[in-house]
Structures are given as structure tokens and as C-alpha cells.
Structure 1
């Protein structure tokens, strides 16, 4: 974390309020152009490297969903935010090592980055300590490049094929298969990336009709992601400003 304090200066609160108003307006406009209800799109405030005070301030401004991508930072921050009396819905959105599963399930409500059968099983075992199932999204590789991470559509790989990973989550006793997550591949125009993701999601829902969440789009491309059906957008810099330098 960049700050051990869960307090925030009034000028910082004003900055966050302005960023939030701008992002909400962008989401509303994108939904209007796509003929969608803005209430159907959840904004996840990506608070990695930002202090707990920003999380508390955002919660006070009505933001309910926060995203983190490193367990080492997220675990402590979640505890600090909880100590301040604030309990947002935490989304773990980064690549996750199996040995971190037991830590992540203690605070995360949703994991967006399940991309292997082994990780699904590790989370299933770790989540047995919870009093409720944990939502899990399968991270899908849009371009099929295994080096980038993500389950592979159309692959019969028993460890990382999209169908086999989804089946492992769906069969888990402590997880709920909620949908898909993806990041636009480097070098791909967002339109191309999210159009491909929409095709994958349509086929996926024909097999898993209850898994309707689609986590896609960030600060720079959220409008395009919404056009192609994103139900969750992950917004960092457009909401919180320039990201602090990691220490």
C-alpha cells in the first residue's frame, strides 16, 4: 500500500468525486448509444497502489465495487478498509498463483482471473473456509496466445482449455461460475478484441446460461467494451488519477 492511513484529505475527496462523475457520465452515454440500461453495468474501481483512504472515500461516494490485482497489497488494504468500518465488494482481477488462493478467499468476493483447472481446484479447496460461495470468472484468452494468460477457447487442453476450466469451476462446491473476463491483447484494436470476446461469450452462455457476467474494458476503452456487452468495467486512472509509483 502507498499509505497506512484510511483517511483522505478534502481536496482528494473532491478529486475522486469529479473523476467518479466523469466516469459515470461516460458509462451512461455508452449505454445510451448501445441501447442498454446503465444499471446493468458495474464499475469496478481499480484501487491497486492507491491507499485505503481512497477506497473509504470512494465507498462514501457510493462506489460499491473495488478491484485489486496483487494479494500482497490487497490483503492488508482490505483489512485496513474493514477496520475503518467499510466493506466494499472486493474483486481480485490480477493473475493469481495457486499458493495465494487461501489468502485471496479471505477477503475477495469475486475472482476474475481463473485460467486453469489447477487454480479452480485450489480456490475450491481454499474457499471451504467461507460461509458462502465465491463468484469466479474464467479469464479467457482473446487471441489464443498461451503466453498472455487466459483459458483457450476451442482448445481441448485438459488444463487450460476454456471448456475444461469452466467445467472445473462449475463443478466446484464452493465456487459459482459467474462468467468471463478478458483483457484486449496488445496490438489489437479494441473493436476487434471485444467483438471477438462477444462471440466467445455468446457461445459460452449457450453452455452455461447462468454465467452472464462479462468483465471487459478499462479506462481507455470502456465505451467499446460496453457496446459489445460488458457487464463489468475495470476503471483505474480515469477515476483515481495518475497511479502512484509502486514502492
Structure 2
């Protein structure tokens, strides 16, 4: 089976699973956006997904996205790009310029820099605030106890275009309580979008209200091994 055929089949399977999960939750499948996570995958794989009707992609690193997506966005009108990995403040200008959605706003200093870049560039990507729902020290995300105040500051102090929340639950825990907590937090602040759920748990996320699910392995297969040496 060719790469193009395999990716098209995988996307069809993911879409079917999304539709089934939505049916169980009493939701319209159109309320869930699949973000195809293309990190470490090269242009032919991304082109195969585009040919199969996928137009929303996610990347973890600004530099990698800069190498791949300007040409892809020029060639494919309507393609949308999400940043789903941690963002350093010194990459914020590049992120605002390239990404349509930044899902990993997680600290005041970054909020201030993004606000400044939006004003300077006159380009405002949609923003999601990442919450570290598992309170894991090795993970990005605003800590849960600080989330409400940070969301308030982003919306009211910096007037940022925050539309939703994002989380990555601990791999060794049931994700459902994390998804439920995030949904409740979003509701408190009138935020309508929730980026939660990946290849292994997106059906659970949909049951808890996810509007965006970040799917990599289930679409593209295992990520290529990094170069040695």
C-alpha cells in the first residue's frame, strides 16, 4: 500500500471514529475538528493528507513548521496550522506570523509578548490557553490553581483573542477527569473551544466536549526516528 493510500485510509477511519463518538455523545460530527499532527513528517505525507481532504494540521516546533508550511499554505488555500507544542518567547513573533491557532499560551510573559506581536503585525491568531491539568513539573501549561486568574488576565488585561483551552493529561491516568475539569473551566469563562484528546483517547475527549482533537499516529503512523549522530 502506498503512503498516499495508507494515509487516506487512516483518515477515513479516524473520521468514522469521530462520527461514532459524536453519535454516542449526541453531538454533530461537524462540531469536532481533527487537527492532523504532522510533526517530524515530511511534505509528501502532508500532501497525502491534504489530497484526502484534510486541511487542519498541527506542529510542535516553530522552526520545523517554518521549514514546511509557508510553501504548503501558498499551494493550498484554506490550510490552517495550529501550534501545539511549547512556545518560547523568542519564537513568539514567528509563531504569530505563521500559525492560525496557537494552542499553548501558558504564562504571563508569553501573553505580553504575543499581545505586543499581534499589535505590531496586525495579525491575530486564535489563542488557546494550555492548562497543566496533571500538575506535572515536566509539562508546559499554566498550573490549575492559577488558571482562572490567568484566563481573566488574558481576556481582560491583555485583550487577547483567547477562544478556548487545551490540555494533555498524564499518560498513566484516566483522561476523563482531566477533560471534565477543562470543560468546566472553559464554561466558567465563556470559552467555547476545547482542544483535548489525541490518538489514544480522543473518543473520551469528544464525550466531554472536545471541539478539537489532535491526531498524529492514527493518521500518519509512527513518527520517523530522529537522525543519529
TM-score by length of structure 1 reads 0.85
Which residue of 108, 115, 131 maps to 1:124? 115
1:96 alignment partner, one of 84, 87, 99: 87
Question: Would you say 1:182 and 2:164 are equivalent positions?
Answer: no
For the Cα contact (< 8 Å) 1:170–1:176, is it kept in 2? yes
Distance (Å, rounded) in 2 between the aligned partners of 1:183 and 1:148: 9
Q: Would you say 1:80 and 2:71 are equivalent positions?
A: yes
Q: In the TM superposition, what is the alpha-carbon distance from 1:131 to its structure 2 partner? A: 4.0
Residue 106 of structure 1 corresponds to which residue in structure 2?
A: 97
Question: Do residues 205 (structure 1) and 187 (structure 2) align?
Answer: yes
Q: Which residue number in structure 2 is paired with residue 57 of structure 1? A: 48
- The offset of 1:235, in angstroms, is 0.3
Which of 9, 16, 19 pairs up with 1:18? 9
Distance 1:85 1:31, change over 3 A: closer
Aligned residue among 187, 200, 204 for 1:220: 200
In 1: Cα distance, 2:39 partner to 2:69 partner: 11
Partners of 1:221 and 1:134 in 2: CA distance: 27
State how many pairs are aligned.
226
- Report the counterpart of residue 233 of structure 1 in structure 2: 213
Cα separation, 1, equivalents of 2:38 and 2:185: 32
Which deviates more, 24-33 or 143-152?
143-152
8 Å CA contact retained: 1:117, 1:164: no
Output one character per residue of 1:23-70: Cα deviation in whole Å (capped at 9) or x when no partner: 001111111111111110100000001112322332232212100001
Q: Does residue 68 of structure 1 match 2:59?
A: yes
